[in-house]
Amino acid sequence: MRIRHALGAALLALGLAAGPAAADSSPSPGASDGSGGAPTQAGTSFRTATEIRQGQQATASGSTGDYLYWSFPADTGQRPTVKASVKLPQSHGSETWQLDVYDGLRRRQSCQYGASTRTAEPGTSSVELACVMRTVRGWSEPWANDPLPGTYYVRLTVVDLGAGDLGQPVNAEVRVDSKDIGGAAAVDGSLGKPLVPGIAVTSASQDDGSRHAVLSSFGSKDGWSSGWWSDRWVWTVIGGVLAALAGVGGYALTRGSGRPRNL
Protein backbone atom coordinates (compact mmCIF):
# COMPACT_ATOMS: atom_id res chain seq x y z
CA MET A 1 0.00 0.00 0.00
CA ARG A 2 2.78 2.39 0.88
CA ILE A 3 4.54 1.64 -2.38
CA ARG A 4 1.30 2.36 -4.28
CA HIS A 5 1.01 5.75 -2.58
CA ALA A 6 4.65 6.49 -3.36
CA LEU A 7 4.12 5.71 -7.05
CA GLY A 8 1.07 7.99 -7.13
CA ALA A 9 3.04 10.84 -5.56
CA ALA A 10 5.85 10.30 -8.07
CA LEU A 11 3.50 10.50 -11.05
CA LEU A 12 1.96 13.68 -9.65
CA ALA A 13 5.39 15.25 -9.23
CA LEU A 14 6.32 14.36 -12.80
CA GLY A 15 3.12 15.95 -14.07
CA LEU A 16 3.84 19.16 -12.17
CA ALA A 17 7.38 19.25 -13.52
CA ALA A 18 6.31 18.68 -17.11
CA GLY A 19 3.70 21.45 -16.94
CA PRO A 20 6.14 24.39 -16.86
CA ALA A 21 8.26 22.71 -19.52
CA ALA A 22 5.31 22.64 -21.90
CA ALA A 23 4.51 26.26 -21.12
CA ASP A 24 8.15 27.22 -21.67
CA SER A 25 8.13 25.76 -25.19
CA SER A 26 6.45 28.84 -26.63
CA PRO A 27 8.42 30.66 -29.34
CA SER A 28 11.15 32.97 -28.08
CA PRO A 29 11.35 36.67 -29.02
CA GLY A 30 13.75 35.82 -31.81
CA ALA A 31 11.59 33.17 -33.43
CA SER A 32 9.64 33.81 -36.59
CA ASP A 33 7.57 31.75 -38.98
CA GLY A 34 8.98 33.64 -41.93
CA SER A 35 5.68 35.40 -42.70
CA GLY A 36 5.50 39.09 -43.42
CA GLY A 37 7.54 41.25 -45.74
CA ALA A 38 11.22 40.39 -45.61
CA PRO A 39 13.75 43.27 -45.85
CA THR A 40 15.07 44.04 -49.32
CA GLN A 41 17.97 46.27 -48.35
CA ALA A 42 20.91 46.24 -45.96
CA GLY A 43 22.49 48.86 -43.76
CA THR A 44 25.97 50.28 -44.25
CA SER A 45 27.07 50.35 -40.58
CA PHE A 46 26.17 49.00 -37.14
CA ARG A 47 23.89 51.97 -36.47
CA THR A 48 21.97 51.53 -39.71
CA ALA A 49 21.87 47.72 -39.77
CA THR A 50 18.61 46.37 -41.19
CA GLU A 51 16.56 44.36 -38.70
CA ILE A 52 15.59 40.83 -39.70
CA ARG A 53 13.74 38.13 -37.80
CA GLN A 54 14.85 34.56 -37.53
CA GLY A 55 13.38 32.57 -40.37
CA GLN A 56 13.23 35.53 -42.77
CA GLN A 57 15.04 35.54 -46.12
CA ALA A 58 16.49 39.04 -46.39
CA THR A 59 17.83 40.32 -49.70
CA ALA A 60 19.90 43.33 -50.71
CA SER A 61 21.58 44.82 -53.75
CA GLY A 62 25.00 46.39 -53.53
CA SER A 63 28.42 46.69 -55.06
CA THR A 64 31.66 44.89 -54.41
CA GLY A 65 33.47 46.85 -51.76
CA ASP A 66 30.32 47.76 -49.82
CA TYR A 67 29.77 46.72 -46.21
CA LEU A 68 26.31 45.18 -45.80
CA TYR A 69 24.84 45.00 -42.27
CA TRP A 70 21.82 43.22 -40.79
CA SER A 71 20.81 42.66 -37.17
CA PHE A 72 18.72 39.94 -35.52
CA PRO A 73 17.70 38.91 -31.98
CA ALA A 74 18.83 35.71 -30.26
CA ASP A 75 17.75 34.43 -26.86
CA THR A 76 19.09 32.08 -24.22
CA GLY A 77 19.41 28.45 -25.30
CA GLN A 78 19.40 29.22 -29.03
CA ARG A 79 22.25 28.28 -31.36
CA PRO A 80 21.91 30.62 -34.37
CA THR A 81 23.03 29.66 -37.85
CA VAL A 82 23.69 32.56 -40.22
CA LYS A 83 23.76 31.79 -43.94
CA ALA A 84 24.56 34.20 -46.78
CA SER A 85 24.59 33.83 -50.53
CA VAL A 86 26.15 36.36 -52.90
CA LYS A 87 25.28 36.34 -56.61
CA LEU A 88 28.24 37.63 -58.59
CA PRO A 89 28.38 39.29 -62.02
CA GLN A 90 29.06 37.13 -65.04
CA SER A 91 32.59 38.45 -65.48
CA HIS A 92 34.81 38.89 -62.46
CA GLY A 93 38.20 37.95 -61.08
CA SER A 94 39.03 36.05 -57.93
CA GLU A 95 37.06 37.44 -54.97
CA THR A 96 37.12 36.51 -51.28
CA TRP A 97 33.94 37.18 -49.30
CA GLN A 98 33.58 37.10 -45.53
CA LEU A 99 30.64 36.80 -43.12
CA ASP A 100 31.12 38.20 -39.61
CA VAL A 101 28.77 38.10 -36.61
CA TYR A 102 28.97 40.57 -33.70
CA ASP A 103 27.01 40.73 -30.45
CA GLY A 104 25.26 43.74 -28.92
CA LEU A 105 28.59 45.00 -27.56
CA ARG A 106 30.06 44.72 -31.06
CA ARG A 107 32.34 41.87 -30.07
CA ARG A 108 33.09 39.53 -32.93
CA GLN A 109 31.66 36.06 -32.29
CA SER A 110 33.51 32.96 -33.37
CA CYS A 111 31.84 30.24 -35.39
CA GLN A 112 31.63 26.66 -34.17
CA TYR A 113 31.76 25.50 -37.75
CA GLY A 114 30.80 26.65 -41.22
CA ALA A 115 32.68 28.43 -43.99
CA SER A 116 32.47 32.11 -43.04
CA THR A 117 35.19 33.05 -45.58
CA ARG A 118 35.24 31.75 -49.13
CA THR A 119 36.97 32.62 -52.39
CA ALA A 120 35.02 32.75 -55.65
CA GLU A 121 37.20 31.92 -58.60
CA PRO A 122 36.71 33.67 -61.99
CA GLY A 123 33.51 32.51 -63.67
CA THR A 124 31.81 31.47 -60.41
CA SER A 125 28.21 32.65 -60.37
CA SER A 126 27.75 32.75 -56.59
CA VAL A 127 29.43 32.15 -53.25
CA GLU A 128 27.83 30.54 -50.20
CA LEU A 129 28.83 31.44 -46.63
CA ALA A 130 27.69 30.06 -43.27
CA CYS A 131 28.42 30.58 -39.59
CA VAL A 132 27.05 28.30 -36.86
CA MET A 133 27.43 30.28 -33.65
CA ARG A 134 27.92 28.99 -30.14
CA THR A 135 24.85 28.53 -27.98
CA VAL A 136 23.58 31.75 -26.41
CA ARG A 137 24.09 31.67 -22.64
CA GLY A 138 21.95 33.29 -19.99
CA TRP A 139 24.94 34.60 -18.08
CA SER A 140 28.70 34.90 -18.47
CA GLU A 141 31.79 36.22 -16.72
CA PRO A 142 32.60 39.87 -17.57
CA TRP A 143 35.93 38.89 -19.12
CA ALA A 144 34.46 36.14 -21.30
CA ASN A 145 33.34 36.48 -24.90
CA ASP A 146 30.38 34.13 -24.61
CA PRO A 147 27.29 34.91 -26.72
CA LEU A 148 24.58 36.48 -24.55
CA PRO A 149 20.88 37.20 -25.24
CA GLY A 150 20.21 40.34 -27.23
CA THR A 151 20.93 41.86 -30.63
CA TYR A 152 23.44 40.36 -33.05
CA TYR A 153 24.90 42.01 -36.13
CA VAL A 154 25.76 40.36 -39.43
CA ARG A 155 28.36 41.97 -41.68
CA LEU A 156 28.92 40.77 -45.23
CA THR A 157 31.70 42.17 -47.39
CA VAL A 158 34.44 41.27 -49.84
CA VAL A 159 37.91 41.26 -48.29
CA ASP A 160 40.07 40.54 -51.32
CA LEU A 161 39.50 41.39 -54.99
CA GLY A 162 41.17 42.97 -57.94
CA ALA A 163 40.94 46.70 -58.55
CA GLY A 164 39.06 46.12 -61.80
CA ASP A 165 36.21 44.33 -59.96
CA LEU A 166 35.62 47.07 -57.41
CA GLY A 167 32.12 48.53 -57.64
CA GLN A 168 30.53 45.75 -59.69
CA PRO A 169 26.86 45.03 -58.80
CA VAL A 170 26.07 42.04 -56.60
CA ASN A 171 22.93 40.62 -54.97
CA ALA A 172 23.02 39.16 -51.46
CA GLU A 173 20.68 36.92 -49.49
CA VAL A 174 20.89 36.40 -45.72
CA ARG A 175 18.92 34.07 -43.48
CA VAL A 176 19.17 33.32 -39.73
CA ASP A 177 17.75 30.19 -38.11
CA SER A 178 18.25 28.78 -34.62
CA LYS A 179 18.27 25.40 -32.96
CA ASP A 180 16.87 25.34 -29.44
CA ILE A 181 19.47 23.63 -27.26
CA GLY A 182 17.44 24.00 -24.04
CA GLY A 183 18.60 22.99 -20.60
CA ALA A 184 21.79 21.38 -21.89
CA ALA A 185 23.28 24.88 -22.07
CA ALA A 186 21.59 26.32 -18.97
CA VAL A 187 23.67 28.18 -16.39
CA ASP A 188 22.90 29.40 -12.89
CA GLY A 189 22.50 33.09 -13.64
CA SER A 190 20.85 35.57 -15.97
CA LEU A 191 21.38 39.04 -17.34
CA GLY A 192 19.42 41.93 -15.88
CA LYS A 193 18.66 43.08 -19.43
CA PRO A 194 19.48 41.66 -22.87
CA LEU A 195 22.24 43.27 -24.92
CA VAL A 196 19.93 45.36 -27.07
CA PRO A 197 21.31 48.74 -28.17
CA GLY A 198 19.52 51.75 -26.68
CA ILE A 199 20.34 53.83 -29.72
CA ALA A 200 18.01 53.13 -32.61
CA VAL A 201 18.99 50.87 -35.44
CA THR A 202 15.93 51.84 -37.44
CA SER A 203 14.33 55.11 -38.41
CA ALA A 204 10.76 56.31 -38.73
CA SER A 205 9.09 59.02 -40.78
CA GLN A 206 7.47 62.00 -39.07
CA ASP A 207 4.41 63.82 -40.34
CA ASP A 208 6.56 66.48 -42.01
CA GLY A 209 8.49 63.86 -43.98
CA SER A 210 11.68 64.00 -41.94
CA ARG A 211 13.18 60.89 -40.39
CA HIS A 212 14.27 60.39 -36.81
CA ALA A 213 15.83 57.60 -34.82
CA VAL A 214 13.63 55.24 -32.83
CA LEU A 215 14.40 52.49 -30.35
CA SER A 216 15.09 49.01 -31.61
CA SER A 217 11.93 47.00 -32.20
CA PHE A 218 13.48 43.79 -30.87
CA GLY A 219 11.90 44.17 -27.42
CA SER A 220 9.54 41.34 -26.47
CA LYS A 221 6.23 42.08 -24.80
CA ASP A 222 6.48 38.85 -22.85
CA GLY A 223 10.10 39.38 -21.84
CA TRP A 224 13.19 37.36 -22.65
CA SER A 225 13.40 33.80 -21.49
CA SER A 226 16.60 34.34 -19.50
CA GLY A 227 15.91 33.45 -15.87
CA TRP A 228 15.88 30.69 -13.31
CA TRP A 229 13.69 28.25 -15.26
CA SER A 230 14.97 25.76 -17.83
CA ASP A 231 14.05 22.19 -18.73
CA ARG A 232 17.07 21.13 -16.69
CA TRP A 233 14.78 21.41 -13.67
CA VAL A 234 12.52 18.68 -15.12
CA TRP A 235 15.36 16.18 -15.18
CA THR A 236 16.42 17.27 -11.70
CA VAL A 237 12.92 16.51 -10.38
CA ILE A 238 12.81 13.20 -12.24
CA GLY A 239 16.15 12.21 -10.72
CA GLY A 240 14.89 13.09 -7.23
CA VAL A 241 11.69 11.10 -7.72
CA LEU A 242 13.59 8.04 -8.96
CA ALA A 243 15.94 8.26 -5.98
CA ALA A 244 12.94 8.42 -3.62
CA LEU A 245 11.35 5.39 -5.28
CA ALA A 246 14.61 3.48 -4.99
CA GLY A 247 14.70 4.28 -1.28
CA VAL A 248 11.10 3.17 -0.73
CA GLY A 249 11.71 -0.03 -2.70
CA GLY A 250 14.88 -0.80 -0.76
CA TYR A 251 13.11 -0.29 2.54
CA ALA A 252 10.24 -2.57 1.49
CA LEU A 253 12.68 -5.32 0.55
CA THR A 254 14.78 -5.15 3.70
CA ARG A 255 12.25 -4.51 6.49
CA GLY A 256 11.03 -8.13 6.60
CA SER A 257 7.60 -9.71 6.19
CA GLY A 258 6.32 -9.51 9.78
CA ARG A 259 7.02 -8.81 13.44
CA PRO A 260 9.75 -10.79 15.19
CA ARG A 261 8.52 -13.56 17.48
CA ASN A 262 8.84 -13.20 21.23
CA LEU A 263 11.12 -15.81 22.72
For residue range 109-156, list pLDDT tens digits in order.
Answer: 999 999 999 999 998 999 999 999 999 988 777 778 888 889 999 999
Q: For the whole prediction, is pTM greater than 0.85? A: no
Residue 71 to residue 103: CA distance in whole angstroms: 9
Residue 136 to residue 78: CA distance in whole angstroms: 6
Report percent pLDDT > 70 for the chain.
Answer: 63
Indicate if the alpha-carbon torsion angle 41, 45, 51, 53 is positive or negative.
positive
Calculate the CA 76 to chain-centre distance: 7
Say how many C-beta atoms besides its own lie within 10 A of residue 131's C-beta.
24
Residue 30 to residue 1: CA distance in whole angstroms: 50
pLDDT of residue 201: 40
38-55: pLDDT as tens digits: 899 999 999 999 999 999
Residue 92 to residue 72: CA distance in whole angstroms: 31
H-run or E-run covering 237: helix 232-254
Give the dihedral of Cα atoms 231, 237, 239, 240; nearest 10 deg: 160
Q: Are 205 and 215 in contact (CB under 8 A)?
A: no
Q: Where are the domains of the chain?
A: 25-228
Query: Is 238 in a helix, a strand, or coil?
Result: helix
| Domain at 25-228, CATH class | mainly beta
Determine the angle formed by the axes of helices 2-23 and 232-254, rounding to 10 degrees: 180
Query: Is 135 in a helix, a strand, or coil?
Result: coil
Q: Mean pLDDT across the chain, nearest whole number?
A: 75
Q: What are phi and psi of 243, to 5 degrees?
A: -65, -40
* pLDDT above 70 (res 253): yes
